[in-house]
Amino acid sequence: ARPKVVVCKDLGPAMPPLLERKDVDIVVWPEDRSCERAWLLENIKGAAGVLVLLPDKVNQELLDAAGTNLRVVSTVSVGYEHIDVPLIGAERHTSWLYADVLTEAVADITIMLALMAGRNDGVAYTLVKNGEWCKPNLGWSPFTFCGPQLSTSLSSPTRTVGFLGFGRIAQATLSRLIPFGITHCIYTGSPTSQPDIARDDALQAKYNLKGLNRVDIDRLARESDVLFLLTPGGKETYHLVDAAFLRKMKPMSVLVNTSRGSVVDSDALATALREKWIWGAGLDVVEGEPAITSNHPLVKEPRCVMVPHIGSATFQTRLDMATLAIDNLIGGVFGGEMPAELKRPA
C-alpha cells in the first residue's frame, strides 16, 4: 500500500513537490486555521509521516493514534517545545525533523524589539496613530519619550548585552549588535553544555569586544543592559525569568523574548514593568499564546511592545521553512535524505 502522510496546514507554494507524487496518499487539513485535534487524531491512523506546526502537540496521545507505521515527524519550526522529544526516535519512530533556516530572520526581529522596547515605540507609535502628536505638551522636547540607548554614547561608553542561551540565533543577534558599539557580552548556557572557550575567544577577537563570558544566571540578571532570551524553552527554562530574577535586573534594562513564552512569568514581568524594576520589554512570544486579549497584564503595560510570534515571518524565510519541512517529510517517509534532521540525543 502507498504510505500515507498527514499535513496539518496547506503550505501553499511549498506543496507541489509533495502533491505531484503518485506514490503517497496525502491528507491535508482543509481549513485556514489551526488543525483540530480530533481531525488529526482520526486522520493520523496508519500514517507514515506527519507534518505539524507549533500548535500541534506531538505527544504520546498522537503517537498512539498514529500506530506503528509512523516514521517521521516534520515540524515547520526550529523550536520543539510542542514535541515530546524523548518519545520521538524511541523504537518505532526513526527521526523527527526541524526547519533550521530561520536564524537570520529571528535575529533581525530580535534587534527590532530591542530598539522598539528601549525607545518607547509602544507609547510613541500608538500616540501618533491616535492623532495625538499635535497635543501641546507632546512636541519635540528634550526629555519627552526618552528611553535607554542600545548603542554606546558619550555619557555611557560601555554596553553589556546578555543572552539566556547562546546558540545560533543568539550569535547571529550578537553579530548584528557589534555596529552598535556593544562592549561586553555575557551569556548562560544549559546546565549540561560546556562553555566553548575557543569559540568565545574567537568571537571576542572578531568582534573586538572587551569581554565575552559565560556567567551564572545571577550575573546575567544583574549585569545585562539588554537581555535576550534565546533558549529552546521546555522544562529546564520554565519561568527562569520570574519575580526574583527581574528584581535583580537594572532599572534601565530591556528584556527581549524571541524564544518561548514559557521562559517568562508574565505576571511577574507585568509587575516589573509597572513598578519600574526594569525599563521595558519586547516580546514576540508569550505564555498562553495565542489566547492573548487586551486584558492581558502585559498587553496593558505601555512599556511592553508585543508582536504575535512573527519572528520568522518574512516571505523568504517562511517559504524556506515550508520547503524544508516538505523535503524532510518526503525524505523521512521514503528513507531518502532528510535535509534538516535533528538527531535524537544518544
Beta strands 341-342; 95-98: pairing state: antiparallel
What DSSP character marks residue 207? T
How many residues bind ligand GLV (CB under 6 A)? The answer is 6
Closest contact distance (angstroms) between CB of 51 and ligand GLV is 14
Q: Compute the CA torsion angle 112, 113, 119, 121 (nearest 10 deg).
A: 100
Q: Identify the active-site residue in 260, 287, 318, 341.
A: 260
Residues 88-107: x/- map of binding to ligand GLV (CB under 6 A)? --------------x-----
By C-beta, is 102 or 203 nearer to ligand GLV? Answer: 102
Binding segment for ligand GLV (CB under 6 A), chosen from 72-80, 125-133, 235-243, 299-307, is: 72-80
| CB 241, CB 271: distance < 8 Å | no
Q: Which residues contact 206 (CB under 8 A, 6 or more apart)?
A: none
By C-beta, is 312 or 323 nearer to ligand GLV? Answer: 312
Q: Residues, the chain, total?
A: 346
Q: Is 74 in the site for ligand GLV (CB under 6 A)?
A: no
Binding segment for ligand GLV (CB under 6 A), chosen from 5-13, 76-84, 85-93, 186-194, is: 76-84
Q: Is 78 in the site for ligand GLV (CB under 6 A)?
A: yes
81 annotated active-site: no
Cα three-residue angle 31-34-40, rounded to 5 degrees: 85
Q: Is 231 in the site for ligand GLV (CB under 6 A)?
A: no
Residues 305-334: x/- map of binding to ligand GLV (CB under 6 A)? ------xx----------------------
Q: Which residues contact 284 (CB under 8 A, 6 or more apart)?
A: 109, 110, 113, 257, 258, 306, 307, 308, 309, 310, 311
Rounded Cα distance between 116 and 122, Å, is: 7
Q: Is 77 in the site for ligand GLV (CB under 6 A)?
A: yes
By C-beta, is 141 or 194 nearer to ligand GLV? Answer: 141
260 annotated active-site: yes
Closest contact distance (angstroms) between CB of 286 and ligand GLV is 12
Which helix (H) or strand (E) segment holds residue 105: the answer is helix 103-118
By C-beta, is 232 or 297 nearer to ligand GLV? Answer: 232
Give the cell for residue 136: 501641546
Rounded Cα distance between 46 and 108, Å, is: 41
Q: Identify the active-site residue in 184, 214, 309, 318.
A: 309
> Residue 190's CB: how many other CB atoms inside 10 A?
13
Binding segment for ligand GLV (CB under 6 A), chosen from 73-81, 88-96, 131-139, 156-164, is: 73-81
Beta strands 226-229; 160-164: pairing state: parallel
By C-beta, is 77 or 253 nearer to ligand GLV? Answer: 77
Q: Is 237 in the site for ligand GLV (CB under 6 A)?
A: no
Residues 124-163: x/- map of binding to ligand GLV (CB under 6 A)? ----------------------------------------
Q: In the β-sheet with 211-214, what is the strand arrangement from edge to edge?
A: 211-214, 184-188, 160-164, 226-229, 254-257, 280-283, 304-306
Rounded Cα distance between 332 and 324, Å, is: 12
Burial zone of 92 (CB within 10 Å; 0-12 exposed, 13-18 middle, 19+ buried): middle
Q: Is 79 in the site for ligand GLV (CB under 6 A)?
A: yes
Q: Identify the active-site residue in 21, 104, 247, 289.
A: 289
By C-beta, is 311 or 332 nearer to ligand GLV? Answer: 311
By C-beta, is 77 or 266 nearer to ligand GLV? Answer: 77
Q: Which are the catalytic amino acids?
A: 260, 289, 309
Interface ranges with ligand GLV (CB under 6 A): 77-79, 102, 311-312
